[in-house]
A and B are shown apart, each in its own frame.
Chain A
Amino acid sequence: MIEHRPAELLIDVLAGMLEGLAHVAVGAASPIPGAAALLARERAGGRLRISLLGSERHNPFTDGNVELFDCAAQGRIDVFFLGGGQIDGRADINLVGVGGYPESRVRWPGSFGSAYMYFLVPRVILFRQEHTPRVLVPKVEFVSAPGTSPAQVYRPGGPHALVTGRCVFAFDRDRGRFRLQSVHPGHGVEEVVANTGFEFELPAAVPETPAPSPETLALIRGPVGAATAETYPRFAAEVLAIGAGDRPAAARA
């Protein structure tokens, strides 16, 4: 077995959640979800449409940055990724800050399109690499976007799963809570429990997240990494060890 980097496992896990879908969109500042979308498209033989914001080559929109949201509202986007400085057990997310509002001791960039996309995209995958009690909290301090809504609120979309650096949680929308689905290689269930600030359903047996196959690693270290470098040069260089010089000619053109 070939050793994999933690980021490569996460790219593989997220890509697996895109299988069989028609259109994935990835927001700004999301290198691992972006790479996962590129990997899923590679595996689907190009049949997956991907829209990476912030990319010139992998962004089909011609109506400006509102088009992503219009597209989502019409149901033309199947899956989207969101993160959060804080995420709680009801899948509420906080992208604004902690320690007071509007004067925040710790201020993050802001809610971006989360308060909209979370409602309208059928499958929203929460992704946050840091899995600690300060991120996965009992209750977020500021709700950028709620995980669940009352029945009368128009909401075709919502959370599907939460992927962290330690594990995968599935979200049960009817019960409004997470269930531990798998734990990444090298990590354990007790460690997940100790580092999660919210309550979640813990099955009697929790499988290990499958490690990426040699074929997958070859894709990530080849065309997927090169394509990722167009939008995320720093991530590609520092995390995947792919520099501009490694890019195939097609990616440089």
Chain B
Amino acid sequence: MVGTGTVEELAGRVPDGASVALAPDYSGCAVAVVRALIRRGARDLHLIGVPQLGFQADLLIGAGCVRGLEAAAVTLGEEGAAPRFVAAIKAGTIEIRDSTCPAIHAGLHAAEKGLPFMPLRGVLGSDLVRHRPDWQIIDNPFAEDDPILLVPAIRPDVALFHAALADGQGNVWIGVRRELMRMAHAARITLVSVEEIIDDDLLADDRTAAGTVPALYVTAIAEARRGAWPVGLRHCYPADREHLRRYAGLARSNTGFARYLDELMLESVAAE
């Protein structure tokens, strides 16, 4: 059975030290749950960007919740660099496993198939390979003289994302954001915040079923209106660019980030 509850309860299901797969800013960001993670003082998280990270990761890093991360990139997009990420790298306070987008997808793909690894084209000769002792190059056993990269399965402890709709059974509609499906398939538990929990059965009609994560992969859901804010949610609301720009400015310094966090936490406790 899929549990339902508040964003606080979802955050409570993420143990300290867990590896947590997160969506990029253009997909389904569970920012309300991330704020709840910060309020509960989560520690030592290992973030996995699917395949990159943005605002959620920068908040968590700034708030001291993160031990390390694996991602193809960390960025606030048009708002520029992710300031707390950059500061943490400079200070050496987080471990980074630099990757490339398709390598993360391939790792999750292996996990969802129960496979130990996946081969991947490209990447050979990139310094990424030198810094990833967990990646290996083998000779393609089906051809002559054809080196190819292998990446290990990525099995996150938790997949955490936000989506527009869920139904009472815990089926979650993600539309075309299929990376969220892959995260849910690959992870040990999947926690989802949604704009709205509806009475209809999302699996009853193929038009919604095709874009739905079935409840069998979903551990718990919480209703969170504007749960991605200030990040946007496709076809629901755009990113709050003014807020993100203000964040990008404030978070450049430790004191500015602390001020932002105080204001945000006070506001969000009231709202969430």
Q: Which A residues are closer than 8 A to B by beta carbons?
A: 28-29, 53-54, 56, 61-67, 69, 73, 95-97, 101-105, 107-120, 142-146, 149-150, 152-155, 232-235
Kindly state whether residue B15 has any CB partner on chain A within 8 Å. no
Of B89, B128, B146, B176, which contacts A144 at CB under 8 A?
Answer: B128
Q: How many A-B contacts at CB < 8 Å in the complex?
A: 153
Of B85, B100, B182, which contacts A111 at CB under 8 A?
Answer: B100
Assess whether A69 is in contact with B89, with CB atoms less than 8 Å apart. Answer: no
Kindly state whether residue B177 has any CB partner on chain A within 8 Å. yes
Kindly state whether residue B265 has any CB partner on chain A within 8 Å. no
Nearest A residue to B92 by beta-carbon distance?
A: A103
Looking at chain B's contact residues, the main secondary structure is: mixed
16 contacts between A and B (CB under 8 A): A28-B26, A56-B234, A63-B176, A63-B178, A103-B90, A103-B91, A109-B52, A111-B100, A112-B100, A116-B101, A116-B102, A119-B122, A146-B125, A154-B121, A234-B78, A235-B78
| A219 nearest CB across to chain B (Å) | 23
| A146 nearest CB across to chain B (Å) | 4
Kindly state whether residue B123 has any CB partner on chain A within 8 Å. yes
Q: Once bound together, how far apart are the Cα atoms of A109 and B178, in whole Å?
A: 23
Q: A104-B90, A145-B126, A232-B78 are in contact. Are A66 and B98 (CB under 8 A)?
A: no
Nearest A residue to B143 by beta-carbon distance?
A: A154
Kindly state whether residue B207 has any CB partner on chain A within 8 Å. no
Nearest B residue to A114 by beta-carbon distance?
A: B100
Nearest B residue to A104 by beta-carbon distance?
A: B89
Nearest A residue to B54 by beta-carbon distance?
A: A109
Assess whether B241 is in contact with A111, with CB atoms less than 8 Å apart. Answer: no
Q: A110-B73, A116-B101, A144-B126 are in contact. Are A64 and B176 (CB under 8 A)?
A: yes
Q: Once bound together, how far apart are the Cα atoms of A112 and B81, in whole Å?
A: 14
Q: Once bound together, how far apart are the Cα atoms of A116 and B125, in whole Å?
A: 11
**Chain A residues whose C-beta falls within 8 Å of the C-beta of B145 in the assembled complex:** 152
Most chain B CB neighbours (cut-off 10 Å) among A63, A110, A235: A110
Q: Which B residues are closer than 8 A to A by beta carbons?
A: 24, 26-27, 50-52, 71-75, 77-78, 81-82, 85-86, 89-92, 95-96, 98-103, 105, 109, 120-128, 131, 145-148, 176-182, 234-235, 241
Q: Once bound together, how far apart are the Cα atoms of A146 and B126, in whole Å?
A: 6
Q: Once bound together, how far apart are the Cα atoms of A114 and B128, in whole Å?
A: 11
Of A29, A54, A96, which contacts B98 at CB under 8 A?
Answer: A96
Of A29, A96, A234, which contacts B241 at CB under 8 A?
Answer: A234
Looking at chain A's contact residues, the main secondary structure is: loop
Assess whether A116 is in contact with B120, with CB atoms less than 8 Å apart. Answer: yes
Assess whether A111 is in contact with B98, with CB atoms less than 8 Å apart. Answer: yes
Of A53, A63, A67, A153, which contacts B147 at CB under 8 A?
Answer: A153
| B139 nearest CB across to chain A (Å) | 10
Assess whether A69 is in contact with B102, with CB atoms less than 8 Å apart. Answer: yes
**Chain A residues whose C-beta falls within 8 Å of the C-beta of B182 in the assembled complex:** 64, 66
Q: Once bound together, how far apart are the Cα atoms of A117 and B123, in whole Å?
A: 9
| A9 nearest CB across to chain B (Å) | 22
Assess whether A120 is in contact with B90, with CB atoms less than 8 Å apart. Answer: no
Assess whether B26 is in contact with A109, with CB atoms less than 8 Å apart. Answer: no
Nearest A residue to B177 by beta-carbon distance?
A: A64
Assess whether A113 is in contact with B96, with CB atoms less than 8 Å apart. Answer: no
| A130 nearest CB across to chain B (Å) | 15
Of B26, B122, B177, B241, which contacts A115 at CB under 8 A?
Answer: B122
**Chain B residues whose C-beta falls within 8 Å of the C-beta of A142 in the assembled complex:** 127
Q: A65-B101, A115-B100 are in contact. Are A109 and B82 (CB under 8 A)?
A: yes
Assess whether B127 is in contact with A144, with CB atoms less than 8 Å apart. Answer: yes
Assess whether B73 is in contact with A109, with CB atoms less than 8 Å apart. Answer: yes
Q: Once bound together, how far apart are the Cα atoms of A54 and B147, in whole Å?
A: 33
Q: Once bound together, how far apart are the Cα atoms of A53 and B27, in whole Å?
A: 11
Q: Once bound together, how far apart are the Cα atoms of A102 and B69, in whole Å?
A: 12
**Chain A residues whose C-beta falls within 8 Å of the C-beta of B81 in the assembled complex:** 107-109
Q: Once bound together, how far apart are the Cα atoms of A113 and B101, in whole Å?
A: 5
Of A64, A111, A234, which contacts B179 at CB under 8 A?
Answer: A64
Q: Once bound together, how far apart are the Cα atoms of A158 and B122, in whole Å?
A: 11
